Structure 1
Amino acid sequence: MESDECEFDSTWDDEDENKTPKKKVLQRRSHRKINAAKDMQNFRHSCRNLDGDDHDKPGQGRFYNLEFYRGQIKSSPDDVHIDDFHQNWWARYDSLQDVHTYTQWLFPLQTQGVNPSAHVLTKKEIKLFLRDKQVKSKLVKSYKLMLDFYGIRLVDESTGEVARAPNWEDRFRNLNSRYSNNNLRITRILKCLGTLGLKHYQAPLVKFFLHEILVKGQLQNVKQSALDYFMFAVLDKSERRELVKFAFKHFKPRENFVWGLGLQRFVDVVDKNR
């Protein structure tokens, strides 16, 4: 795409969310890909009014993801019960790395993933999921399972605060390796948390990655995904703004930090919102 304009982000806009976003100048040298911006905008728009009454429509078929989380069916093609994932896949790092079909079951979305045997979340299904405390509790267990795989632990279930796990060095080496599919998985996890009622878990995880990458100098192979995707999966606009400002503060060299707006306009916006 050769256009100099990016209309796929409203992080700094105060206009009605339902209006068409205004176009923003995007420098040609920006490292933030247009496709990434569009993907994340589409995701955020898909999460509007998920708990509204307008989705109560009959004849929407089976709710496979809800049935899976309620323990009524197993995943496909792996044929694993949700409780088996939580009890028997913990710290099975080789399986978690090499198997590519379980993620779509543990973290379902409204879009089709790489596993054709998994099922897309429906609006009605999301609404039912949001009302079911037991399945939401199991989603937290799935989140903890994957955090451990990445060398992270959930410190506080109420706030979503995370920190390094005791095994972080070994797991960071794996996360920082050639396995770029882990970056895609993290993006999916963030999207799922936002979709299924755990959006307060999003910003703490993204802040953790930004701190490790930009302050501690870790996980450099995760850097671009964190800047292009992770930050913009966060549904809360005020939290998203704070994450962008944090990234800008710690990005080096600062003059190479370009996000959505042209760099100088971005600096002006940051100064205005201090």
Structure 2
Amino acid sequence: MCEDLSAFQPNLDFYMNKSPSEPDGDLIENILNNWKGDYKKLESNCAYIQWLFPNKSQGKNPASYPLNEMEAEIIRQTPELKDRFKRAFKMMLDYFGMELDETRKCFTLASNSDERLKRINTWGNEAFLYISRILLALKECGFEGLMFPWMKFLAQLIYEDKTLDQAEESFEGFWVETLNDADRVEIQAIVADYQQ
């Protein structure tokens, strides 16, 4: 007897608040309502990141699942699920010490930026992997328009302000590659200007 794989939608079930992230996770609404600002929890339990920001790669958590196209399409088209994605993004921006001004689609430093940037600006930490995953999820879940302004802001922090300079390798080796061709060329030009 063949198993019906069309009903298997773990990422969608998580986003619909029907099932918790695994392992040791929670329902998405509980995460969004209770985990924001709990930096110890966000640092110590990294299994949730693959659930909050699903993309087509497996990631490090063997209890998570790659995002399939049907799930991505439903997230892109469902206002409630898009809102959850945006809230998850804002929660992680807070974790990084950043904020999104939605009206202008620009990024700024949050009031906690000194502490948070100092904490994450260490070579090889999980935060850079989180950013990699989030960039891919932005693209696949219908928020590609936020990628370029966020990358422009990250470039400023890395190359001009030097408050996130340990992320340079991740920025050049992976983050830039998530952009479409035109945005990639523009970001590379911005970085070249900073490096002169």
TM-score bin, normalised by smaller chain: over 0.9
**Partner of 2:46: helix, strand, or coil?**
coil
Report SS of the residue matched to 1:115.
coil
1:73 aligned onto 2:30: no
Aligned partners of 1:246 and 1:71: how far apart in 2? 40
Quick one: which amino acid aligns to residue 115 of structure 1? N
- Secondary structure of the corresponding residue to residue 174 of structure 2: helix
Q: Deviation at 1:232?
A: 1.7
Contact residue 159 and residue 200 of structure 1 kept, 8 A: no
- In 1, Cα distance between equivalents of 2:100 and 2:60: 27
Larger RCO (CA within 8 A; separation ≥ 6): 1
AA matched with 2:192:
F
Question: What stretches of structure 1 move > 4 A for 4+ residues in a row?
Answer: none
Structure 2 residue 140 is matched with structure 1 residue 195: yes
TM-score (norm 1): 0.67
Local SS of the residue matching 1:242: helix
The residue type equivalent to 1:80 in the other structure is D
Aligned: 1:146 with 2:92: yes
- For 1:153, what is the secondary structure of its paired residue? strand
Q: Kindly report which structure 2 residues correspond to 1:1-274, keeping only aligned pairs within 5 A, or say none.
A: 59-156=5-102, 160-178=105-123, 180-235=125-180, 237-251=181-195, 254=196
For residues 70 and 178 of structure 1, what CA distance do their matches in structure 2 show?
35
Measure, in 2, the Cα distance between the counterparts of 1:241 and 1:159: 22
**Post-superposition offset of 1:159:** 5.2
Per the TM alignment, residue 248 of structure 1 is displaced from its structure 2 partner at its CA by 1.0
When normalised by structure 2's length, the TM-score is 0.93
Structure 1: distance between partners of 2:146 and 2:188: 17
Gaps of 5+ in 1: 1-57, 255-274
Contact 2:148–2:179 (Cα < 8 Å) also in 1? yes
Amino acid at match of 2:138: L
C-alpha displacement of 1:172: 0.4
CA spacing shift, 1:134–1:231, aligned 2, 3 Å: same
Shift in Å at residue 80 of structure 1?
A: 0.3
Counterpart AA for 1:241: V
- Higher gyration radius (CA): 1
Identical positions, percent = 26
| Alpha-carbon shift at residue 233 of structure 1 (Å) | 1.1
Aligned CA-pair RMSD: 1.5
Confirm or deny: 8 A CA contact 1:159 1:201 kept in the other structure. Answer: no
Is residue 158–residue 166 contact of structure 2 (8 Å, CA) maintained in 1?
no
Query: Where in structure 2 are there 5+ consecutive unaligned residues?
Result: none
More helix by share: 2
